[in-house]
Copies of this chain bind each other. A is one copy, B any other.
């Protein structure tokens, strides 16, 4: 009955229903209007995401999502020759893979609202601190991701969105507009604090609203309780749902 909004991405999407998470905030904003479904896969890059497409978004679905966020790149941008190189995907392939994901979604539903989100910035010092706290002496000696390289992937993502005439959120740039973004928005140099989650929520809600998916303008599924006459409740429900 009600439309689905799907959040497709890596750990930053998978963790989006934790305390203050951007996914939970979206679910709350669209409560009684749309269902927000999380399809987040920690550690995944766009190359691995391709294996999921036909399972998560079957082409013969009778109810494809009305909107999908695609939020990959943090793992693709892991550096070669460092501890997370297994997850690395070259920038050109990253863009190609994102394009394949978009094409698949458009094939699912030509009217689907598709929003590309860039990886967040990287706080290299935060990554090193996290590694030392987690692995002690065995910790990496150089960060496995750099902010500069994450920026290359962010630009690639935004360029692709422009080429495909899609909306995008440049989280890498947006977060760095705020002084102290390193600790304010990132908990371990990569994943989001509640404040960082709030930035993503505001940006996604803004872009959805600027498109056509404004929560405020969508009708409630059933009458607000104040519209129900205590002595004659049938009336409110006859008008709205019978």
Contacts and interface: CB of A to CB of B under 8 A. Distances in A.
A230 interface: yes
Given A48-B225, A51-B233, A31 B21 contact: no
Contact of A27 (B27, B31, B225, B226): B27
A86 B234 CA distance: 14
Contact of A241 (B32, B40, B55, B86): B55
Interface string A31-61: 1100101101111100110011001100000
A43 B237 contact: no
A18 interface: yes
Interface residues of A, number: 44
A87 interface: yes
A80 to B, nearest CB: 11
In the A-B complex, the 3 residue pairs with the closest CB atoms: A43-B225, A24-B24, A86-B230
A208 interface: no
A139 to B, nearest CB: 18
Given A17-B27, A28-B21, A40-B31, A51 B241 contact: yes
A140 interface: no
A19 B17 contact: no
Given A18-B24, A55-B221, 12 more contacts: A1-B55, A14-B31, A17-B17, A19-B19, A21-B28, A31-B38, A32-B40, A44-B225, A51-B234, A52-B222, A75-B225, A85-B230
Interface string A11-29: 0001101111101110110
A152 interface: no
B87 A230 contact: yes
A234 B41 CA distance: 16
A50 to B, nearest CB: 9
A30 B87 CA distance: 25
A138 interface: no
A3 B233 CA distance: 33
A66 to B, nearest CB: 15
Contacts of A38: 27, 31, 35
Contacts of A42: 224-225
A24 B17 contact: yes
A228 interface: yes
Given A87-B225, A241-B51, A32 B21 contact: no
